[in-house]
Chain A
Amino acid sequence: MSFGIGQILYVIILVINGIAVLNEERFLARIGWSGQVDQGFGVDGPSLKHNIINLISAVRTLLRIPLIGVNLFVIVYEILLG
């Protein structure tokens, strides 16, 4: 049972890629996970689902540009040395 740091990095990158690749119109809207959910009265704080949606949209907006660079780097590294 041993991981290297490299493997963990790959796992993190792949998971973030997986979140970022979710399509807003084709996938998220279809299962009702798109945009802002209306807050009902009597509910204190956003719900669990609302938080997940927020997290996904934040990852999609924030990490899209850096992911391009990181993915390119990993691909080139794997082609040359992997």
Chain B
Amino acid sequence: MGTGTKDHAQLSDVFNEDEARVNWHDETLWFVRAKRDKAAHNIPEWEMLREIASQIKDNVLSDLHSYLLEFEANAQENGITVHWAADGEEHNRIVRQILKENGVDRIVKSKSMLTEECHLNEYLQQHDIEVIDTDLGERIVQLAEEPPSHIVLPCIHKKKEEIGELFHEHLGTPEGMSDPVFLTAAARVHLREKFITRRAAITGVNFAVAETGEFVVCTNEGNADMGAHLADVHIACMGIEKLVPQRKHLSVFLRLLARSATGQPITTYSSHFKKPRPRQTMHIVLVDNGRTKQLGRPDFRNSLKCIRCGACMNTCPVYRRSGGHSYHTAIAGPIGSILAPNLDMKQYADLPFASTLCGSCTNVCPVKINIHEQLYKWRQVIVKEGHADPAKSIAMKAMEFTLSSPSVYKIAGKTGRMVMKYAPFMVNNKLNLWYNQREMPEPPKQSFGEWYKQQDFSKEKTN
């Protein structure tokens, strides 16, 4: 991602340099969150839907072995070739091999966070295969040579003027033109030519049905369908956790997905791919890439229930004000912060700390993942394993020492109040990040304990 060794806090600083943009980003995502609320409140049985979705996914994870075998057998029966990839590298190799066998060196790809996770685009480009992302937002960040900053709204960090400049440079639109209708129309023409001329298409998978061997891809733009139905070769890439047991279970998830994501009652297209067209070949790549490891972590396994709606990001006060790129991983925000440490605890040690633990993510999650509790648990694991920022570890140890002894706690409180009163510069300085962009609070004159001792409660007792 080209973010070097910077952590979430440092990358957030970069994003926060432009305060007006941060406010705009914050408000735009909150607007999406508000639309989600409106859509959810329109369904009286919303909470029951969440509960049922959660139970279905719990069942899937507890019987994943059988469901994977059932899905594989049914997909093969349907004429789909099924591949298994232990990690991202193997996934990329499989995709390249399929393209090679078909003599294809230019492809279209619709949105797939899995291929972002596996860095498929970079890999294929290194092997002289051109990849065109066809989701408008993804195409924009691709032209800007950036990763998506949000799993549903890939270029939510970009202003229309910047997009206008990109299109002027790459698609030849008039300079200074930034009208979204005009730019979308230009992208339509640009991408239609790609759909017509590319012989292979990659799509992601939203849900795969064990019972029938079919898979469902949801888009608003229709780009997955345009790619897949025109291509000779369709490759669908999916994590092994995307399964649902039966076709009828799709009803629950399709009711939840778009409402949670953008507040729409359903995405424009919910396409059920069951068999290839005549003369078309269809492949599914089932990818592990750390998922079986996460399945073995009791505290974190239910992060695998995620259906990638992005609701936890839209509601997160930290995500909204730090931007998706500050998470330096394919899936940003609260859910990304519990998925990433599973892949590399050291590299992503900062992410579980990029949260206020307010719990809003957990409240909006359509499959009831206890996201904020898992963030809290990751912090403990990361500190125990010695991956935490040294300053954070020392602070935590000092906190533990202070809170575990009443006398130390009292002295510390008194000292704190003295310092705040007589020497505020001791804490309010550049070395203390907490006071960065904050004002000092007025120190209380005494502690609650001291105040309590002075009170005369005898009157109240007689009442």
A and B co-occur in one complex: no
Q: Which residues of B does A touch, CB under 8 Å? A: none
Residues of A within 8 A of B (CB): none
